[in-house]
Structure formats: structure tokens, C-alpha cells
Structure 1
Amino acid sequence: MAARSKEVTISILSFLILALLGLGLGFFYRLSPSLDRRPMHTDEAILGMKLADYWETGHFTYDPKDYHGPALHQVAIAWGKIAAWGDPATWTESDLRFVAVLCGLGVMLSVFLFADVLGRLGSAMAMLMTAVSPMMVYYSRYFIMEMQLTLLIALTLGCFWRFSQGGTRLWLVLGGMALGFAHATKETFILNVAAALAGWIVARVIVGDFQPRKSNSLSLSSSSKKQRVGAPWAWVLVPAILVSVASYSGGFHDWHAVKDSALTYANYLVRSEGSGHEKPWHYYLTLLFWRKDGLVWSEAMICVLGLLGMIYSLVGEHKNTARQAFLVFLSVYTLVLFGIYSVLSYKTPWCILSVQHSLTLLAGVGAWWLWTMFTGSIGQLVYKVAIGVGIYFLCGQSKFAIEEYRADQRNPYVYSHTTTDLLRLVGEVKKIAAEKGESFSAQVINRDSGWPLPWYWRTLPKVGYQMDVTSSGTTAPVLIVDADLLPVLKTQLGEQAASYTESGPYGLRPGLYLSLLVQKEKVAEPQPVAPVIQPGADLSQGLAPMPIPAPSPIPGDMPAPGTISTAPTLTPNLPVLPGLPGTSAPIPAAPAMRLPDQSPPPQPAQP
């Protein structure tokens, strides 16, 4: 069908209805069901423990090899102060994940920064598709850096666009601050910068200037004075550098972390080769378009409409050249960023979120352009039914992704995730700890130090973690061990193995299982009583029993029977993320978290 000759839009009432529908669905899928139903992923647990250390010590230890910058933790602490989280021992999974929810809602609202370039229908459709995108929904309930990074990149691009449309230099300052905080969130922001530069160059060559008029002010008020070409970048780079340095240095105190934030790219160049996360080049293509594993998982509606938006940016009729320039920029930015991530061997599903977001903005434009092609009541009805079915299909996927398939490997957004079965083990050990009281101690023997168990058992004062079977800690009354290490452990225990009751296996991650060994309670055997012969006693009347002397106390430097000789401590190294070889750099010891009514336990090193 031919497109209508004049620009078609929707009424303000229709726009408000669609926007409110998007906001309602966005809130619903990001908050329902309860955020704590899905077990903690290893990444979430590690970040949660690092956040607790930051909360209690006021110092963030930046690891240039892994775990990324401090920005997510700083946002979480700021929100935690507002929400009055209190002692880290009382934190829940919902507390942490609500930070990601806020970022996800922010991504939805950032669409308004592009309202004039997307149009009413395009803005409403982009918000609606962002609200129900299963990928956006799933990772908006995930305490990792990606959703915050996506929000900050969206704010950066939105601020630059607003400035180009006659906004004051304040938009440049805000965009620079968002860009600097994106660097402090995750080092991979540099890929977004590279893609944005490519998009800007191509748009300038194909279309020309982004500005709707020749003059544009760098002052806080409108002015027609011409500025140097390089002047706008100063208003971006200075606040970007200041915000990044302030974040990494903890308020200009730790300059070593600032240096590491620049040198870390040598490490990331090596990691880009895969580091255990190698995937084929088409991994992200199938993730977005089509995955079938029990269910059909697809965001093809967003992808197809996004491609239509790209085509419109080149061949559509544009009365506003600035609008066309931005759409060309956004198209090239999306394609280049997608190409970079596809070429890199290192791939995890959440890395592509920024691409998916910019593609959704273009999908809003594509939805509007498609609407202009459907004339007449029948055509409009067909369009509404097709869009409605597509939105309904995305809603269904979001529901399955966060409920029935929340930790199921058949869900393409679930990646090396903790199984729901592990919560059974968590509850069992907590029950044993309550029954044994002060005599409780446990040792976890797992190649990844049992993550995310350190998060779940952070309030238990005597739980140790080691990566292989050694003599240290193998006499603890409670042992949690890799199922494939169980025979080695039993050999190490020798005859003592018979004193343990074994249960399990309990799923840790797909293909990894744990066994639980609990030492049996020892029943005291009656001791023979020696007779006492009193002087002058009549032996024919029987003998009086000899009193049993009280046992001598155990010396303070000798372990009590049935306990480990040294208090178990957490492994001194943060375990590597699933699939990563080697170990990470050690971090300073952090105070053990405990409930207020507990006596101070031994100080373990942070996992």
C-alpha cells in the first residue's frame, strides 16, 4: 500500500492511553511476581556481598579484572538510604533487585527525550514494546550492571539530541555526566561510544547537520552568537571525566582505582576472546529473532519494526532534516554496536541490552511508518489486530520468563543460573544451624566456593568455603560438597565417613550438584561403675557404687571433639564467574555480617 501523502499521527488522548498502558504493563511485569522468587545468580550474589562490604566500610575495592565499576553500588547505597535498608544481614533479594527495577522503569521513561523524533505514535509504541519486551522485563529484575548501563546510554543520547534541537548547554553537561557515570558502571560503555561516533559520522555525511536551525546556544539562555566547533565537546568531556573520577575514587580519595579504570582495558581485550563464554557470531541474532526450546522465544516483532524504522530513515519523506539525521545516526549506531558484539567471541545474553533498546526506539518509528501505509477502516483494523497480537505474544513470553521459566535453562535469558533446587539446601542447612545452635559449623567444598551460597548463609557465623578437598575443615559437623568430589572427601574422612548422614543431590547450576553430609548425634554409652569398699563394710550386703569424677576441662588451645580446629573462613579470593578460568585478585577482608543479637563471629574474608 502507498503511504498517505500527509503525515499521520494520533490524538493526544490515544497517545496518553497507549503510554499509560505501557507504564502499567511495565510496572506489573517488573514487580509481579515477587522479586525474590528467582534464586540469586552467582553474579548477583557476588555484587550483593560487595555492596554489603561497601555499605559497612564506606570503601569500594575496584577489581580491574572483573566485577566492574562502583556506580551500581553507589546507586544501590543511595536508594538503600532512602528506603532505610538497615543492616546488610537483613537485606533481601527484593531489596537489591528493586534497584534494577528502577533502572528498567527509567529506560521506559527515557523515550520521552526522543518524543519529537519518534512522534506520538512512535513514542507510545516504543514505550509499550519496551514495557513488555521479555528481555527488558527479565533483566529489569536482575541485580547486575546492564540495565543501569542501558539507562545511562539512553540518557546520554537523549540529552545530546535535546541540545541539538536548540537546548541549552545544560543538556550537554547532563549528557556528559551520564556518560561519565556509564564508564563507572561498566567498562564496555566504550563500545557504545565507538558505535555512536560511527553513527554520527555517517549521519553527517549522508544527511548533514542535526540542528533544526543554523544557530544554537551554548549558554543557559537562547542566543545567536556563534561558538567554536569544538566548544560543545568541552561541556561533555569535563563533566564526564569529573563524574567518572569521582565515582572510581570514592570522592577523590582512591586514585589507584582511577588509574586501574583506564588500564583495565588490556584485561578486557583478552577477555573479549571468550574466556569461557565463546558463542558463534549469530548467537545474538537468534536470541532476538527466534529461539525454540520447549517454547518459542522471539522478539521478531520489535526486530522487524526496527528494520522498517531503519529503512524509513533512508528512504522516507522527511520534512525535518534534523529528524532524519538522528534516525540515520540511531540506525548506524544500532547496526555497528550489534556487529561489534556479534564479532566478539565473548557473549552473554545481557550484553546486547543497549542494542535491543535502540532497536526498540527504531521499532516505534517503524510502527508509525507502517500505520501510514494502512488506509481505510479495514487496513487500520488489520494493523491494530497485528500489533495487538504481537504485543500479546510479548506479554506471554514475559510472563513465562519471570514465572514458570525464571531459572529454567530453556529460557534464553537464563544463563548459567542457580537452580531453584538450591533453595531446598539453603533451607535445610539453616534448619540444622537453628537446631545445633552454638555447636553448628559447616564447610562448603566447591570449585566456585559455592556461590551463591555465601549470600544466603551470610548470617551464619561459622561457614567456611574452600575450592577442593583438603584436610582443613573436613571434620566439620556439616559438610556441603560437590557431588563429583564426594568420593575424594569420603576417602579423606576414612572411617569417620560412617558418622555422617548423606542427603542430596541438590542442584547448584545445570550439571553441577551438591551433597549434604551431617554428622550423626553421638549417644553417650553407660559406663561401668566401680564398687567402693568402705572400711568395716559388710561385703555380704553388696558394694556401694563409686562416684564418677567430673571430666577435666578441655584446654583453651585444644579443639572440642567434633568441631574443626580453626574457625572456617570464606575463601580469600572472589571465585570467578561461571565459565571463567583461573582465580581473581584477592580483596581485603571485610567484617562478617551478623544479626544484631549475635556475638561477633571470626572475621572472614569477603567472597
Structure 2
Amino acid sequence: MITLKWKFTVSKTFTYKHVGSALLIAVFFIASFLRLYNLGDRPMHVDEAVHAIKFGELLEHNYYKYDPVEYHGPALNYLTLLPSCISGSKTLTDITESTLRIIPALCGIFMLAFFLFMKKSLGNRLLLIIILMISFSSLLIFYNRYYIQESLLAAFTFCLIISLYKYFISKKILWIILSGFFAGLMFASKETSIISFVCLTGSILFVRYSSNHSGLRTGTGIVPAIIFISVFISVSFLFFSSFFSNLIGPVDSLRAMVNYFTKAGQFPDHIQPWHYYFSLILFRKVGVIWFTEAFTLIFFVFGSISIIRKWNDAESENLFINIIFVFTLLLIIIYSIIPYKTPWSMMTFWTGCIIVSSYGIIRAIELSTERIKIIVLIISGIGLLHQAWQSYKTSFTYSYHPQNPFVYSHSTPDVKLISDLLIKITDGIPQKNNTSINITAANNDYWPLPWYLRSFKKVAWNENITHDIYLYPIILCSPELEAALIEKLYSVPPPGKVNLYIPLFDKYMELRSGMEIRGYIKKDLYDEYIRNQ
């Protein structure tokens, strides 16, 4: 009887272990699928196109100079060289949307994997819930599929927090080295990393002096600090100096802090009320579909209450959760106060909200009766399934739809149609390599067309109609400039040089929702194109 009991116990343990591993692998597979599948399907956002053109200089000319006013940090550009080299891309024309977007997507997956180092401290259940919640977060997935810096900033921030925590409890030098490394990558990603640094420092100090956790009171002397700062400065210097080719870059990175906070209130289109971020994730209806992250917010509130009630518990799990909790609250406060708001800016504090929410789910289960536990598990299961389904809808079905809560001034599919039409027309005439195009839009608001027309060698980009406009056989312009365009086309050319232009598009075309673009082509060029079909 003893032998049978012993065999049964081992078999049961073995089964649970492998079921847990299989579940974790399945979650990572789904998380990777949602972040990597069909990355090139959605039209390029304006910001993505700007960063892509900037990357083109590095790819084609091996030249990158940090600009403290625009473009953000250099990390995204240099990391994008990896998939470009692997794919054999040597020019911007060779690059695809998928090649660009894979780095932010992989950073999101890397952050998930890095949480596995927290297994011993958090326990299997809490770790699994955190990974599930982050894996299926519709907001995180949506912006992990964008070629912008925020995915890098969020990923490196939580890798830094995990590394610091691991150092606090183990005192192993490797973790303080990794902490400096991730801090350097954060700083090289985006100027707003300074906000995360301030909030994380404040969080650690608050937890140190307000709780009984001994991990923050020992082993934080001068030597670890020197190691951290040395690694941080080294990594930052490498990126901002363009690997020693632009020695003024690190100085410019400090100037960028002033520029960022100076211009934060200078863009009326991006000025939003303090509650803007949470208005995005509460409730939004598109047709018969409700988009909401209320499930996460409800358990975030419960998790916050539980953290405060267990503030002085000495468990290692609580040290990490306490730091995340204070860090997240500070980020929420600061980002809510700053008037300049874009939805992707909330990626870092929303990840913190998810961790606190996951803790709230575990505490709700632990504190409940057996019957209530079943209800909590059912609610959690429904919430996670809804998140996964919502992630698919926001990232695929409604990836550029204006009513998608995460879509912000996004390009329409018309930009691809315009590009395809121009390629088709120029390919259909003998002098295609010599065909010049003029793109004119008020305030230079013609993005993301520079990305989609990157294969054309003779393109003029302007914000006003120029006097030589009649020399261009193909013209695209914004509607408010149409009167000036017509006037110059037929009054400026010398006698015998006036050409007849006809509409290029047979339907209404938009760069972004509500932002029309109009096209014109010389009639003789269009006739030649038709003859060659």
C-alpha cells in the first residue's frame, strides 16, 4: 500500500509540473502570435514613417546623429539593424513594415520571458497570472506592433526593476550589471525614461523607509552604485555617441530633457485632460463590439487595497509588488498631470497596473471561500478570454479604424493605394526612372507618404506651391492649396509650356481620417500610360 501511494504521489506531481509547463509554452506561443503575425498588414502610422526614414539614413549611409529635438533615442534605430542584416536589406526600399516592427514586438516578448526570473519570488500562480495578463493585454499588443520607442522603454523598464529586485535579494553583482545595462537601454530609447527613473527611485526609497523589508537596507553601498552608474553611462554613451562617431551626442541627450518638457504644452492637438488615459480603456463601442479594460482596472483596485493592508509583510513577493505599486502610482500621477498625451505613452504604467491587478486576482482567490473562489476564477477566465479576443479585434480587425480606442491619428489604407497607383503608372511608361513627383501639403503634413514613395528617386516635398510646379508631371497636394496650384499651373509657365492636368484619383483619398489628399497628372503622360497598358 505504501508503494502504491508513493507512485501515485510522484505521478501526480509529475503531471502538474508538465501541465504547467505546457500551459506556459502555449501562452508564450499565443502571445508571440498576437505580436508577430502579419506585422505588415496595417498602414504605417505617421510616427512610424518618420522613424523609418530616419533609420534609412543609418542603413544606407551608415550615418546616425542624435537629434535632441526630434526622433527620440537611438536604440530603436540601431536595434533595427539586426533584422535588416538578417533579411539582407541594404537600402530603405528593401525594408518592409515587418522588418521594422519586429524589434518592438520582440521586446514585448522578451519582457514576458524576463519575468520567468521571478518564479521563485512570486510563486507559480502569481507569475502565471502576470504572464497571462501581459500576454493578452490589448493595449500592450497593439503598440508592440508599432515601430515606436515606447515598447522598448516599457520592456527595458521592467527588466531593470526585475534586475534591481534580484540584486536586492541575492546581492549578486551580475544583477546590478544587468540593471545598469537595462537602465542605459531605457535612456537610449526615449527621453521620457527620466520620468521612469524618478518614479522608480522614489518608489524604492519610499518602500525602503516605510516597510520592514530588509532587502533594501543592506548591500546598497558605494561599490554596487559605482558598477550600476558605470554600466549605465557606458551603454548610454555608446548609443548617443553613435558608437564614438558623434561625441556631442551624449551632451545632446541631456539637452533633450529640457526640450521635451519645454515643448510638452506646445502641441494643441495632443493636449488632453488629466483623465485621458483611463477614458481610452474604460468603455468604447464600435458597432456591436464593446472595448474595455475594466477587468484589469477592477482587480487593480482590489490589488492596491491588498498591497496596502499587507504593506509590512516580510515575504519577498511583497517587496517586488510594493515597489511596482508605488512606481505605478507615481507614473500615473505624473503622466496625468503632463498635458501632452499620446495613448502609447501609457504602456509603462499600464504594465504596472497589470502586475498589481494580477496580484489582486491572487489575493481575491486566497481570501475567498470555496464558492467565491470558483466565481473569481470564472470571472478571471472570462476576463482573460475577452482580453485575447479584444486583442485580436484591435490589432487585426480594426487595426486602423478611428473608433478603435488605441488608434490615434492613424493612416488609412489609401496611402497604400496611392503608392501602388504611382508605381503602376510609372512602371507603364518608358521614362519611369526620370518621372518627377511633387508632394505639397500645408505644414509639411504629407506623412506617411515619404515611406510609401521611398522607391521614387525624384520626389519634391513642400509646404507651399512653388513656382516650378508646372515642371512636375505628377502632383499631390492638400485641398487647401488647390486654388494656388491651379493658379500657378496655368499662369506661371511661359507661352507654349502650359500643360493640361487631369485628376489622378477616381475617388476621395485620405492620408488620415478626415485629411484628404488630391492628385493630378499631365494628360499626355496619362495617355502614354494608357497606351502602354
TM-score normalized by the length of structure 2: 0.89
Are the equivalent residues in 2 in contact too, given 1:124–1:364 (CA < 8 A)? Answer: no
Counterpart check, 1:443 vs 2:435: no
Match of 1:333 among 314, 317, 327: 327
Q: Deviation per CA, 1:82-123, whole angstroms, max 9, x where unpaired?
A: 343343321111111111111111122122233334321111
Per the alignment, residue 152 of structure 1 pairs with 156
Are the equivalent residues in 2 in contact too, given 1:42–1:417 (CA < 8 A)? Answer: yes
Give, in angstroms, the shift of residue 274 of structure 1.
4.7
Are the equivalent residues in 1 in contact too, given 2:176–2:224 (CA < 8 A)? Answer: yes
Match of 2:26 among 16, 21, 24: 21
Per the alignment, residue 491 of structure 1 pairs with 487
Per the alignment, residue 242 of structure 1 pairs with 234
Counterpart check, 1:364 vs 2:355: no
Secondary structure of 2:508's counterpart equals strand
Secondary structure of 1:148's counterpart equals helix
Give, in angstroms, the shift of residue 523 of structure 1.
11
Per the alignment, residue 253 of structure 2 pairs with 261
Give, in angstroms, the shift of residue 293 of structure 1.
4.9
Q: Deviation per CA, 1:466-525, whole angstroms, max 9, x where unpaired?
A: 11112133431111111222122112212747443443431101221111111112799x
Q: Which has the higher helix share?
A: 2
Structure 1 CA distance for aligned equivalents of residues 471 and 146 of structure 2 = 37
Q: Which moved more, 1:59-68 or 1:433-442?
A: 433-442
After superposition, where does 1:50-89 map in structure 2 within 5 Å? 50-89=54-93
Are the equivalent residues in 1 in contact too, given 2:212–2:313 (CA < 8 A)? Answer: no
Structure 2 CA distance for aligned equivalents of residues 18 and 427 of structure 1 = 44
Are the equivalent residues in 2 in contact too, given 1:310–1:327 (CA < 8 A)? Answer: no
Q: Which moved more, 1:141-150 or 1:458-467?
A: 458-467
Secondary structure of 2:147's counterpart equals coil
Structure 2 CA distance for aligned equivalents of residues 177 and 317 of structure 1 = 30
Q: Quick one: which amino acid aligns to residue 134 of structure 1?
A: S
Counterpart check, 1:130 vs 2:134: yes
Counterpart check, 1:320 vs 2:314: yes
Are the equivalent residues in 1 in contact too, given 2:116–2:127 (CA < 8 A)? Answer: yes
Per the alignment, residue 305 of structure 2 pairs with 311
Counterpart check, 1:161 vs 2:165: yes
Secondary structure of 2:215's counterpart equals coil
Per the alignment, residue 521 of structure 1 pairs with 524
Q: Deviation per CA, 1:374-410, whole angstroms, max 9, x where unpaired?
A: 333x444323321111112112211111222111111
Are the equivalent residues in 2 in contact too, given 1:443–1:464 (CA < 8 A)? Answer: yes
Give, in angstroms, the shift of residue 458 of structure 1.
1.1
Relative distance call for 1:389 and 1:522 in structure 2 (3 A) is closer
Structure 2 CA distance for aligned equivalents of residues 404 and 326 of structure 1 = 37
Structure 2 CA distance for aligned equivalents of residues 442 and 522 of structure 1 = 12
Identity %: 25
Structure 1 CA distance for aligned equivalents of residues 514 and 58 of structure 2 = 33
Greater gyration radius = 1
Per the alignment, residue 505 of structure 1 pairs with 508
Structure 1 CA distance for aligned equivalents of residues 41 and 81 of structure 2 = 23
Give, in angstroms, the shift of residue 444 of structure 1.
0.7
TM-score normalized by the length of structure 1: 0.78
Relative distance call for 1:254 and 1:188 in structure 2 (3 A) is same
After superposition, where does 1:566-581 map in structure 2 within 5 Å? none
Structure 2 CA distance for aligned equivalents of residues 29 and 332 of structure 1 = 30
Relative distance call for 1:128 and 1:409 in structure 2 (3 A) is same
Q: Deviation per CA, 1:420-442, whole angstroms, max 9, x where unpaired?
A: 12221111111111112425221
Are the equivalent residues in 2 in contact too, given 1:126–1:360 (CA < 8 A)? Answer: yes
Q: Which moved more, 1:441-450 or 1:490-499?
A: 490-499
Are the equivalent residues in 1 in contact too, given 2:83–2:99 (CA < 8 A)? Answer: no
Q: Deviation per CA, 1:539-572, whole angstroms, max 9, x where unpaired?
A: xxxxxxxxxxxxxxxxxxxxxxxxxxxxxxxxxx
